[in-house]
Amino acid sequence: MYAVIKTGGKQYRVADGEKLKIEQIPADIGQEIVIDQVLAVGEGDQLKVVTPLVSGATVKATVLAQGRHDKIHVFKMRRRKHYRKSQGHRQNYTEIRIDGISA
């Protein structure tokens, strides 16, 4: 069984036992969370899609870690104008493990 969930402004296709890095959510390590924004639930070739959310469907997950992604470097430059700008960014994430999907 799999589900399509929405969290942090992004959509993820998740299955039971899968590990996933999502946008940071305020939760402690080891805490069990429930994601109720389920867009679709499927099993095999059957898919249940309801607008906007599947009513009564939830995804249970356990928080494994809180961390930060690798640094990305942003470099802007205008040729012949002596303009150079360098910037770095590290995005926070929460790593979760999907424990169960209930439709």
Provide the pLDDT confidence category of residue 39 given band limits of 50, 70 and 90. very high
Say if CB 17 and CB 93 are below 8 A apart: no
Instruction: Measure the CA angle with vertex 101, ends 96 and 103; round to 5°.
Output: 145
51 pLDDT tier (thresholds 50, 70, 90) = confident
* Residue 93: domain span: 2-102
Task: Provide the residue type at 57 as one letter.
Answer: A
Structural domain total, the chain: 1
- Taking CA atoms, 19 is separated from 33, 73, 94, 98, in Å, by 14, 27, 11, 7
